[in-house]
């Protein structure tokens, strides 16, 4: 068991013929993900011949969903076209959409999120590494060789920092139920609370790691949610303690503005909610192993 | 990207917001001439991309062209929070100030909507107002499909205690500010203060505007407004190379892939007693030439006593990073000790390539940070000894 993605996920890849789309479709198929089709406007009827399997390409998500019974879509298209790809996936009725694209303007994402909410389409991202259920399926770019099946749920705003933590867990023989990278943009799809809620309800997740960073107040909101609703142990790490205020630290969402968004504030809120907060990523594993 | 006051106010004016007449001057003589044209009185304002200009003495009122020239003389070349002033805005004096208000448009991340924030407590630091007297801040959220509605601006005007005869003009200013925000893909448009003049009219006396960097590609006119003089040269070079680089004041240079991991690497350096010299994210899938540029930038900072590479390969490949490091080291002869930690995709190949170079390696992030801090300390001590 797991959350959001498993053996029954039937995945479409929007932008399957691009450089990233091709490379990662091969990686996903190799991992065991059931990729059922690709979508590239103008290339319908062609075939994606990957290293590990061949899948049909369609002109539209709607056509592809009807022909394949897809229930999820992953987006590998440039920022200029990504909002359109998300609208299209929601319009076609897909319940889960993952957008890896970075550099989508904030005002575009406000419109996208508001539209997707009308369809009850769950969005992960943008600017995220996707998610992976070890032993079952991966939707995105999290390296398949650093995970192992188990019961620790991982949710994170960062990409490579997630790899760091997951890899350390695996090396210690601690497996994961599902790892979800929600992305570092200020306006996105699923946030910490949405994922924590799923982990809390998932019988095969025994505890949760939440990796946050400076900026916004999603960690503070998560802390309030954890205090009220979570019975499972939560361990956390917040990146950016040394970040100077007013400077955007790479992610569009990672900025300390005035008094809001500081690492100290987030850590205090989490500790007050009974979450154990690690001083450094390596320490998370020690805390979980205890 | 942040805009200067004069740039922001010009954009406001395009959306019907009243601003003082004024012109930018680069020399004291120009400031004098502008003041003469404006009728002999003016305010001379330093144009630097930071707050606190007034407190630093960067804003001075002149009662004559001569005084404006003297003011500009004093302000040009001045340092404000580490930035050198190389231009001033010379604005006509407002016809009296009856009241100072605050008005801004920005994104509410939690509500996932733009919002308008307004207060009758203008002219001061709005964060402080929000902190100490939150009841003086009034907020309405804007549905992008509806835009600003008049009932919303009336609500703000009423709560700010604006005289009824100004509600109509206030509505136009709020709508204009929101249009300016939206059409320019801003993350902030702020008027502080928005004043009621001695003649009872509303006017934007100061302006601030930040543009969403991700949207600059569809606003070539705004992209051209970037003030290259205000950007540290290393950061500008990094940006052009597709890297995110922020200069800090520590002693350990870091090169990392991914923003979250880069921040975590900085934090852990601090945890082990060092201090990061920079934030540097080489991004996903960095090529060798980008890595070489990044290393050159790190080493151009004389404060750097050690360099820590922390690369967790996903899209990024360890061997590609190693090639970049080697390429950079061929061009630069440096005594600075380096610690490399490679994990993930092609890490083994990368480490094999680096075996020839004189670098320390580490298996974990903690180990890498401790080695880098120790190496910096040793380098400093041997520097003192020699």
Q: What is the pLDDT of residues A228-276, one digit of tens each?
A: 999 999 999 999 999 988 888 888 788 877 777 899 999 999 999 999 9
CA dist list (Å): B143 to A18, A42, A117, A119, B116: 35, 35, 14, 18, 11
Tell me what pLDDT residue B384 has: 66
Measure CB to CB from residue B260 to each of A80, A103, A161 and give the nearest one.
A161
Q: Which two tokens stand for residue B289?
A: 């030439």
pLDDT at A287: 95
Name residues whose C-beta falls within 8 Å of residue B304's C-beta, 6 or more positions apart in sequence. Answer: B251, B252, B253, B277, B298, B336
What is the pLDDT, as a whole number, of residue B10? Answer: 97
d(C-alpha A114, C-alpha A189), whole Å: 10
Looking at chain A, list the stretches that DSSP marks H as alpha helix, in order from N- to C-terminal side: 19-31, 61-68, 82-91, 106-119, 160-171, 192-201, 218-229, 263-272, 281-289
User: Measured between beta carbons, which residues in chain A are less than 8 angstroms from residue B112?
Assistant: 110, 113-114, 187
pLDDT at A120: 86
Does A130 or B380 have the greater pLDDT score? A130
Of B67, B102, B178, B305, catalytic: B102
Q: Cβ B279–A247 below 8 Å, yes or no?
A: yes
Q: Give A36-46 pLDDT, tens digit per residue.
A: 999 999 999 99
Average pLDDT over chain A, rounded to an integer: 94
What is the pLDDT, as a whole number, of residue B334? 86
What confidence score (pLDDT) does residue A255 get? 80
Choose the closest CB to B281 out of A237, A250, A258: A250
The helix/strand/coil state of B217 is helix
CB contact under 8 A, A160 and B110: no
pLDDT at A1: 61
H-helix or E-strand spanning residue B73: helix B65-75
Determine the distance in angstroms separating the CA of A160 from the nearest CA of chain B, rounded to an integer. Answer: 6
Selected catalytic residue, list A251, A262, A270, A273? A251
Percent of chain A past pLDDT 90, that is, above it, reads 87
A254 Cβ contact list (under 8 Å, min separation 6): A184, A213, A214, A215, A240, A243, A248, B259, B260, B263
Tokens of B87: 């231009």
Of B129, B260, B312, B363, which to mutate for an interface test with A (greatest number of A Cβ within 10 Å)?
A: B260
> A130: closest CA among A111, A102, A109?
A102
pLDDT, tens digit (0-9, with 9 covering 90-100), for B104-132: 999 998 899 999 999 999 988 888 888 89
pLDDT at B385: 62
In whole angstroms, give the CA distance from residue A127 to residue A186.
Answer: 10
Measure the CA–CA gap between B222 and B212, rounded to whole angstroms.
10
- List the one residue out of A118, A98, A114 whose CA is nearest residue A106: A114
Specify whether B272 is catalytic.
no
pLDDT, position B204? 98
Chain A contact for B234 (CB, 8 A cutoff): no
Query: What gap in Å lies between CA B11 and CA A73, rounded to an integer?
Result: 40
Closest CA to B244 of A159, B2, B254: B254
Does A280 contact B284 at a Cβ distance shorter than 8 Å? no
pLDDT of residue A252: 75
Cβ contact, residue pair B279, A252, below 8 Å = no
Low-confidence ranges of chain B (pLDDT < 70): 384-386
Do A282 and B365 lie within an 8 Å CB cutoff?
A: yes
ipTM of this model?
0.92
HSE-CB at B207 with a 13 A cutoff on CA atoms is 27
Mutate to test the interface with A, among B130, B246, B263 (most CBs of A within 10 A): B263
Chain B neighbors of A248, CB-CB under 8 A: 213
Q: How far is B268 from chain A (nearest CA, A)?
A: 6
Task: Say yes or no for a CB contact (<8 Å) between A159 and B107.
Answer: no
| Residue of A161, A221, A251 with shortest CB distance to B264 | A161
Instruction: Tell me which residue in B187, B214, B271 faces A103 most closely, judged by beta carbons.
Output: B214
The tens digit of pLDDT for each residue in A274-289 reads 999 999 998 999 999 8
Helix axes of A218-229 and A192-201: crossing angle, nearest 10 degrees:
30
pLDDT at residue B386 in the model: 55
Distance (Å, whole) CA B271 – CA B267 = 6
Contact in structure between B19 and B204 (CB atoms under 8 Å): yes
**SS3 of residue B338 by DSSP:** strand
């Amino acid at each position: 068991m797991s959350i959001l993605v498993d053996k029954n996920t039937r995945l479409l890849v929007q932008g399957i013929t691009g450089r990233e789309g091709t490379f990662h479709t091969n990686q996903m198929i190799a991992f065991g993900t059931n990729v059922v089709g690709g979508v590239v406007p103008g290339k319908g009827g062609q075939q994606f011949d990957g290293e590990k399997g061949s899948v049909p390409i369609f002109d539209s998500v709607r056509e592809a969903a009807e022909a394949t019974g897809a229930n999820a879509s992953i987006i590998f298209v440039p920022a200029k076209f990504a909002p359109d790809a998300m609208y299209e996936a929601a319009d076609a009725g897909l319940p889960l959409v993952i957008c890896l694209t970075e550099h989508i303007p904030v005002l575009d994402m406000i419109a996208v999120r508001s539209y997707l909410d009308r369809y009850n389409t769950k969005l992960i991202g943008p600017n995220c590494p996707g998610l992976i259920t070890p032993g079952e399926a991966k939707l995105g770019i999290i390296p398949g060789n650093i995970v192992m099946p188990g019961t620790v749920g991982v949710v994170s705003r960062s990409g490579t920092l997630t790899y760091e933590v997951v890899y350390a867990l695996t090396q210690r023989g601690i497996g994961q139920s599902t790892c979800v990278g929600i992305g570092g943009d200020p306006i996105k799809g699923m946030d910490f609370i949405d994922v924590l809620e799923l982990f809390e309800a998932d019988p095969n997740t025994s505890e949760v790691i939440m990796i946050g960073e400076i900026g916004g107040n999603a960690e503070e909101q998560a802390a309030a949610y954890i205090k009220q609703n979570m019975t499972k142990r939560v361990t956390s790490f917040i990146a950016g303690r040394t970040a100077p205020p007013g400077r955007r630290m790479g992610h569009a969402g990672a900025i300390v503005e005035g008094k809001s968004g500081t690492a100290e504030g987030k850590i205090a809120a989490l500790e007050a909610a009974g979450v154990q907060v690690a001083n450094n990523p390596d320490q998370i594993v020690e805390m979980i192993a205890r | 990207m942040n805009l200067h006051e004069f740039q922001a106010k010009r954009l406001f004016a395009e959306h019907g917001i009243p601003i003082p007449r004024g012109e930018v001057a680069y020399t004291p003589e120009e400031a004098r001439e502008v003041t003469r044209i404006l009728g002999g009185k003016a305010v001379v304002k330093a144009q630097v991309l930071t707050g606190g200009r007034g407190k630093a003495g960067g804003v001075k009122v002149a009662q004559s062209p001569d005084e404006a020239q003297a003011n500009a003389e004093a302000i040009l070349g001045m340092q404000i929070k580490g930035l050198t002033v190389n231009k001033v805005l010379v604005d006509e004096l407002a016809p009296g100030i009856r009241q100072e208000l605050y008005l801004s448009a920005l994104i509410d991340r939690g509500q996932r909507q733009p919002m308008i924030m307004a207060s009758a407590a203008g002219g001061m630091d709005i964060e402080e107002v929000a902190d100490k007297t939150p009841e003086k801040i009034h907020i309405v959220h804007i549905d992008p499909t509806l835009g600003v509605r008049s009932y919303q601006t009336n609500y703000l005007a009423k709560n700010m205690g604006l005289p009824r005869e100004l509600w109509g003009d206030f509505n136009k200013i709020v709508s204009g500010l929101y249009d300016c925000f939206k059409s320019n893909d801003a993350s902030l448009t702020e008027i502080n203060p928005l004043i009621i003049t001695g003649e009872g009219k509303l006017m934007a006396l100061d302006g601030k505007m930040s543009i969403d960097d991700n949207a600059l590609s569809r606003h070539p006119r705004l992209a051209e407004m970037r003030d290259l003089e205000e950007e540290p040269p290393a950061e500008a070079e990094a940006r052009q190379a597709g890297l995110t680089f922020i200069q800090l004041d520590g002693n350990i240079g870091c090169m990392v892939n991914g923003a979250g991991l880069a921040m975590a690497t900085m934090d852990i350096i601090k945890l082990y007693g060092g201090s990061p010299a920079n934030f540097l994210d080489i991004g996903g899938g960095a090529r060798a030439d980008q890595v070489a540029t990044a290393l050159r930038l790190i080493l151009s900072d004389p404060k750097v006593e050690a360099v820590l590479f922390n690369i967790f390969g996903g899209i990024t490949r360890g061997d590609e990073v190693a090639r970049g490091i080697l390429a950079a080291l061929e061009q630069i002869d440096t005594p600075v000790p380096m610690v490399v930690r490679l994990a993930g995709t092609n890490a083994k190949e990368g480490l094999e390539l680096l075996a020839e170079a004189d670098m320390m390696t580490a298996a974990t992030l903690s180990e890498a940070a401790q080695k880098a801090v120790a190496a910096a300390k040793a380098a400093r001590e041997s520097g003192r000894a020699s």
